[in-house]
Chains A and B, each alone.
Chain A
Amino acid sequence: MLDILRQPWHWSIAGILIGLTVPLLYLIGNKPFGISSSFRHICAACLPGNILYFKYDWKKETWNIFFVIGILIGGIVGSTVLANPNPIVIASSTQQQLMQLGVKEFSQLVPTDIFSFTGLLTINGFILIVVGGFLVGFGTRYAGGCTSGHSITGISNFQLSSLIATICFMIGGFLATWLLLPLIFNL
């Protein structure tokens, strides 16, 4: 059984389990499934300043902080007890394109030549991690949600704004992949 769980999980299993998180959170506490709001709660709790956006009852939202701490612990479990013993399998066309860009490490979940503390000190690594991270935090809050809040929760509640946001997430991703990444890797 453990051997089966250690293999990469099928997309249908993952999709069903992620989809079920939406009703689960509604029914155990009237909570809308969303993750990027945790960034806002962290700001509101740690450095509210005199900013209207961070002036709300964040203590009522501590559940969200507990939820993301859980995700972090889940990451530990998934990478230790349930770790995949084999290297990750990547589509050969993607691997070739990434090698041409200059990516060298293909055995783990992320290219560790870039996404590591040594990679952070390179210009490529710094841009992808720090600038990329900034855009995730700025963009999700400006858009009012991320993949979980908009693409899954919002669309499942037939919100047009969520569909529009999701289309824009995809457009941004295609632009970064095909136009920005070649520029960044050529620096």
Chain B
Amino acid sequence: MKTKIEEEGTNHQTTTESVTSNLKYIAVGIFFGIVFVKAEIVSWFRIQEMFRLASFHMYRVIGTAVVVATISTLIIKQFKIKTIQGEEVIFSERPFNKGNIIGGLCFGLGWAMTGACPGPMYGLIGSGFPVFIIALLSAVAGTYVYGLLQNKLPH
């Protein structure tokens, strides 16, 4: 369990990549950031509408994304599609721990307050709302405090 938590969020590629090969992730990020802004997922108002059940925009976006991601994942598994480096795709198991609940509730509070999950924070900084640099630094501080207290928190 312990090692699983420490491994979380890391990737499984075995081929070593050069610095320039990281440029393709910038490209995916740019594409993704544009979608975030243009679908107004970065908007504090859209998040408020979601939690006030006043609009189903966010539910539809996330719901569609989950369906598309699930079908894609099943296709990759079924046909054993390899990565462009020829590796087998590894899907991380995420065993349950109490952090999923307690941490999840904390994130939910922060999500409605800032109106931004981590992705939109980066998108908003680029969209001309530089005050989200402060929100981002605060989030990094929150992660640091989690790292500091990890052994003492229930998992």
**A residues whose Cβ falls under 8 Å from a Cβ of B:** 5, 8-40, 42-43, 47, 51-54, 56-57, 60-64, 66-79, 82, 84, 88, 90-91, 93-95, 97-98, 106, 109-112, 115-117, 119-120, 127-157, 159-162, 164-178, 180-181, 184
Contacts and interface: CB of A to CB of B under 8 A. Distances in A.
Top 5 A-B pairs, shortest CB-CB distance: A172-B108, A70-B29, A74-B33, A15-B64, A75-B126
Contact of A91 (B32, B49, B70): B49
Given A30-B87, A56-B10, A138-B142, A63 B37 contact: no
10 contacts: A20-B72, A36-B143, A61-B11, A69-B26, A74-B36, A94-B48, A133-B110, A138-B103, A147-B62, A150-B104
Chain B interface, >50% SS class: helix
Contact of B11 (A17, A20, A32): A32
A98 B113 CA distance: 13
Nearest to A80: B128
Interface string B16-36: 010101111111111111111
A19 B64 contact: yes
A29 B89 CA distance: 9
A156 B145 CA distance: 30
A150 B2 CA distance: 19
Contact of A120 (B23, B41, B131): B131
Contacts of B94: 144-145, 150, 154, 157, 159, 161-162
Contacts, number: 537
Contact of B142 (A20, A53, A137): A137
Contact of A29 (B85, B121, B123): B85
A104 B70 CA distance: 40
Given A16-B65, A136-B142, A176-B108, 8 more contacts: A72-B122, A73-B33, A116-B129, A150-B94, A167-B104, A168-B108, A176-B111, A180-B109
Given A32-B11, A53-B147, A18 B38 contact: no
A24 B60 CA distance: 21
A78 B38 contact: yes
A172 B104 contact: yes
Most interface-central of B19, B102, B122, B150 (chain A CB within 10 A): B122
A140 B118 contact: yes
Contact of A93 (B36, B54, B66): B54
Nearest to A125: B131
Given A8-B40, A133-B138, A144-B99, A138 B146 contact: yes
B29 A71 contact: yes
